[in-house]
Structure 1
Amino acid sequence: MVTPETLSLNIPATKKPRVVIIGSGFGGVNLAKNLAGHEFQVVMFSKLNYFGFWPLLYQVATARLEPETIAEPIRKLFDKDYPDFHFRPVRVTNVDPAAKTVTTLVGELSYDYLVIATGTRTNYFGNDQVKQFAFPLKQVSDAVSLRSQLLQAFEQANMTSDPAIREQLLNVVVVGAGPTGVEMAGSIAEMRAHVLPEDYPGLDFSQMHIYLVEGLDRVLPPMSPVSSAHTHEDLEELGVIVKTNTLVENYDGQVVRLKNGEEIRARTLIWAAGVTGATVEGMPKETLERGRYVVNLFNQVQGYSDVFAIGDIALMRSEKWPNGHPGVAQPAIQQGVHLAKNLHRLRRNEKLEPFSYFDKGSLAITGRNRAVADLPGDKHLSGFMAWAAWLFVHIFYLIGFRSKLVVMANWVYRFFTYQSGTRVIISPFVRKDDVKTQEFMQRQQME
């Protein structure tokens, strides 16, 4: 029997400088790919054994893509061309920057250089009841659970004769109108218009309401007002009910209560309202600010020369970015590549080069031929051109030829048919407190 006591990290001893990377996201993977070679031993720790292409999570959640198309096994990314690279799918429980050690659930490891690339986690702003019943969208398992919830709700709505329960099952509330929330709301609206009426001809989908709730005064707050206005118009044309300057007060799994007193009956609430840094235990509190590690222009954590942070978990201020870089993939990718170069410079006793972020622009999509783009030089695109740019960029940055091919084939097929083949409930989702549904599902699965 395998127990934690029978496991160990089993990392070989080395005379090379050891770089320990915590996290397998855009920053960690790009750092390791540009670092692994003959000069360093590279060790990566992550709770997940895959690299996930998070910008497409919403397409898994709305049954447009299979989970495997946006996830690539870490071990597949680092083959024999990356000597002395070691991956361990374990959770880091503590770091000790004074002793220069990292502690995991199965053992401890010393390091010469530590890189924290843990990204973010969902922020519920202290609302534990919302946390209990809402659906986050931060990793593939979240997307699969949400897909099951949506498909089960449609099936149950098709089987109930109570119109109030049916409407509650069909209603969906998306909280947070950043890129994730906007894309999720638009995707569900397209399902309602083109897919669900064919799957459930007996249901009246005019009873299905999709709400997008945002606390600020416009959708897509990180993007330009021009793109925000275009997106708001697109969402309303798709039939999404947009509520800005509105906050969620509570949610009990049945009714969404807003701060203004309004109530929305819905069995599905998708939480895309905010994130906070996925910090690790052991780092001094003074290194943190607003849930992120304060770093200098070399990505060194404040007060340390051998501890680095990259990507969303890093707060790097500059004249152009006084509040740090945006929490998107590009800063993490660029910082990972740049830090690899600087670690090689450290190895050769050369002067470190400061990081400078090249902003390639921002994109968001709401549906077929509906997208917006903010480009360098204060240029803006909308409609088909922005949509085509979004498709190209996402295919380009997917890791792995198979993923690129499968996703592109899916999109081409769906462009002509609006259909997808992933509307299957493989792992039924049941809330932990829903005893009656648990009993029903158990009876369903009895031989």
Structure 2
Amino acid sequence: MDTNLPVSSQPRVVIVGCGFGGLRLAKSLRDAPVQVVVIDRNNYHNFQPLLYQVATGALEADSIAYPIRKIFAGQKNFFYRMADVQRVDTAANTVHTSVGDIRYDYLVLATGSLTNFFGIESLEKNAMQIKSIPNALNLRSFIFQNFEKALLTENPEEKQALMNIVVVGGGPTGVEISGSLAEMRKHVLPKDYPELDLSKMQIILVEAGAELLGPMSVKSQQDAMRYMQELGVKVVLNTHIKGYENCRAYYSDTEFIPTENLIWAAGVNGAAVPGIPEELVARNKRINVNQWNQVPGLSNVFAIGDVANMVTDDMPKGLPMLAPVAQQQADLLGDNLQRLIKGQPPVPFVYKNKGVMAIVSRNKAVVDLPKDVHFNGIFGWFTWLFVHLMTLVGFRNKVVAFVDWAFSYFSSDQALRLIIRPFSRRDVKDDQGKKKAEHATSTPEYNPTPPAIQVK
């Protein structure tokens, strides 16, 4: 029991997940009279907003990750266990993990989100995603492996599919990775693959809605569309990808986009933990919480960040799944836990919107601030760089990211295009780290009979 954690007279706060929310909460309890236990399957904190730059070779993987134990070195009330959480037992105040059971006095679920494939099995099996560092490294290897294959094939349809890249989802992640890929097509790939006619390479961004960057202002949406067009990214709006198999991304029963590279950035669900009563979990797998981030009916169980479904009058669908929300909830919950220990009433959470932003490519970004303040272009780009640089954990990571960005800016190059871990779709794992069903990895025979999409 308790996986060799020391016995303490102080109440134990168990935090599941060390993302933006879990990390911030554990830090906020540094001087609190509690024992802080963090459980995470990875021994590092992952800065997810920059995963797409790892996938496209702009940053090293270890420049956006930082060891959990090193982050909390010197925090005497902190303990970490590397484990998968299997379920929670709220009646016994126990978390069941892959390394044993851990008792808690207060439990905080900060498990983040998982990719939502909307129940489409072929997409879940075959599409690439970028929710973790392994995902990003796999995607980077896969893209470059396919260009190596394109050099060898004589089949024109197969060559086109190997070179085409389809990004599904027109939110910030989809826009950012599409822009980064367009920059790669312009500056990097011609140097590495002069034998290929890269004018035929298509980067296609597919969005189910009527505009890009749906949650942002109309001005940002218009700017993002203009930037995409300037970069040569083909944007297809009001279109659903209904399936993906045999190197075909189907948008109807018979019509498809030929591609071996489909990147899914179209949606996420909350990463709810087994053991939480089903009636407390919303349709998008987020856990319902009240204004104190407390799970209703469970006085000592809380949820923060992406997994927490906090509904307000202004946001009837729940607060957005953004890092600032998780961090603000963590700060307040840290104070409220100490108030509860002292027998004082908790303070309700009020979200302070500090704005949203998205980068498209070099000198191209959009920023929306409160009170309808909007700016774009190089000023928005510098703002995005500064905010993300300052948010990275660890001085070394900040320096490495700055140097990498400066090198890429002045050289128009990205040095990190090594295939150091050759990737096969047989290696694809889901967000929980479990291996997906195996299927063919070789490029199939191409049948040109069904009409392929004509993207203008």
TM-score tier, shorter chain, comes to over 0.9
Give secondary structure in 2 for the equivalent of 1:248: coil
Residue 304 (1) aligns with residue 289 (2): no
Alignment counterpart, residue 85 of structure 2, candidates 88, 92, 95 = 92
Structure 2 counterpart of 1:190: 183
Write the deviation string for residues 117-155 of structure 1: whole angstroms up to 9, x where unpaired: 001000111111111110011111100000000111111
Alignment counterpart, residue 33 of structure 1, candidates 16, 22, 27 = 27
Q: Distance in 2 between matches of 1:260 and 1:373?
A: 38
Alignment counterpart, residue 358 of structure 1, candidates 336, 352, 371 = 352
Structure 2 counterpart of 1:342: 336
Name the CA shift for 1:417/1:352 in 2 (closer, same or farther; >3 Å): same
Residue 270 (1) aligns with residue 263 (2): yes
Letter in 2 for 1:224: S
Residue 404 (1) aligns with residue 398 (2): yes
Residue 252 (1) aligns with residue 248 (2): no
Query: Does the aligned pair in 1 maintain the 2:2–2:103 contact within 8 Å?
Result: no
1:129-278 equivalences in 2 (<5 Å): 129-259=122-252, 261-278=254-271
Name the CA shift for 1:129/1:209 in 2 (closer, same or farther; >3 Å): same
Give secondary structure in 2 for the equivalent of 1:9: helix
Q: Distance in 2 between matches of 1:126 and 1:193?
A: 36
Shift of 1:260: 7.5
Structure 1 counterpart of 2:7: 13
Specify every segment of 5 or more residues in structure 2 that has no aligned partner in the other structure, as ranges.
Answer: 427-438, 444-456
Structure 2 counterpart of 1:390: 384
Shift of 1:420: 2.0
Structure 1 counterpart of 2:430: none
Write the deviation string for residues 290-329 of structure 1: whole angstroms up to 9, x where unpaired: 2111111111011122100000111112222222211111
Q: Distance in 1 between matches of 2:233 and 2:255?
A: 17
Give secondary structure in 2 for the equivalent of 1:39: coil
Structure 1 counterpart of 2:366: 372
Structure 2 counterpart of 1:103: 96
Shift of 1:436: 5.5
Structure 2 counterpart of 1:415: 409
Q: Distance in 2 between matches of 1:286 and 1:385?
A: 46
Q: Distance in 2 between matches of 1:57 and 1:90?
A: 23
Q: Distance in 1 between matches of 2:441 and 2:280?
A: 44
Range moving further from structure 2, 183-192 or 414-423? 414-423
Letter in 2 for 1:205: L
Q: When the two structures are superposed, what TM-score results if normalisation uses the length of structure 2? A: 0.92
Q: Distance in 2 between matches of 1:435 and 1:355?
A: 49
Give secondary structure in 1 for the equivalent of 2:79: strand
Write the deviation string for residues 226-282 of structure 1: whole angstroms up to 9, x where unpaired: 111110111011111101100011111411110375311100100001010111111
Q: Distance in 2 between matches of 1:153 and 1:374?
A: 37
Q: Distance in 1 between matches of 2:424 and 2:104?
A: 42
Give secondary structure in 1 for the equivalent of 2:216: coil
Write the deviation string for residues 166-190 of structure 1: whole angstroms up to 9, x where unpaired: 1111000000110000001110011
Shift of 1:435: 5.9
Q: Distance in 2 between matches of 1:118 and 1:355?
A: 19
Q: Distance in 2 between matches of 1:124 and 1:244?
A: 18
Letter in 2 for 1:255: R
Range moving further from structure 2, 256-265 or 389-398? 256-265
Query: Does the aligned pair in 1 maintain the 2:2–2:102 contact within 8 Å?
Result: no
Query: Does the aligned pair in 2 maintain the 1:38–1:83 contact within 8 Å?
Result: no
Structure 2 counterpart of 1:4: none
Shift of 1:214: 0.7
> How many residues get paired?
430
Give secondary structure in 1 for the equivalent of 2:368: strand
Specify every segment of 5 or more residues in structure 1 that has no aligned partner in the other structure, as ranges.
Answer: 1-6, 438-447
Q: Distance in 1 between matches of 2:141 and 2:73?
A: 34
Name the CA shift for 1:219/1:158 in 2 (closer, same or farther; >3 Å): same
Letter in 1 for 2:120: N
Give secondary structure in 2 for the equivalent of 1:93: strand
Shift of 1:198: 1.0
Write the deviation string for residues 15-36 of structure 1: whole angstroms up to 9, x where unpaired: 1100000111000000001113
Q: Distance in 2 between matches of 1:43 and 1:230?
A: 45
Letter in 2 for 1:349: G
Q: When the two structures are superposed, what TM-score results if normalisation uses the length of structure 1? A: 0.94
Query: Does the aligned pair in 2 maintain the 1:255–1:267 contact within 8 Å?
Result: yes
Q: Distance in 1 between matches of 2:102 and 2:393?
A: 29
Q: Distance in 2 between matches of 1:193 and 1:372?
A: 21
Give secondary structure in 1 for the equivalent of 2:397: helix
Give secondary structure in 1 for the equivalent of 2:379: helix
Structure 2 counterpart of 1:440: none
Alignment counterpart, residue 112 of structure 1, candidates 92, 105, 111 = 105
Shift of 1:46: 0.9
Write the deviation string for residues 86-133 of structure 1: whole angstroms up to 9, x where unpaired: 111101111011111111112111111000000100011111111111
Name the CA shift for 1:336/1:38 in 2 (closer, same or farther; >3 Å): closer
Q: Distance in 1 between matches of 2:11 and 2:364?
A: 49
Shift of 1:429: 0.5
Query: Identity of aligned pairs, percent?
Result: 47
Q: Distance in 1 between matches of 2:160 and 2:190?
A: 15
Q: Distance in 2 between matches of 1:351 and 1:174?
A: 47
Range moving further from structure 2, 402-411 or 314-323? 314-323
Alignment counterpart, residue 45 of structure 2, candidates 43, 48, 51 = 51
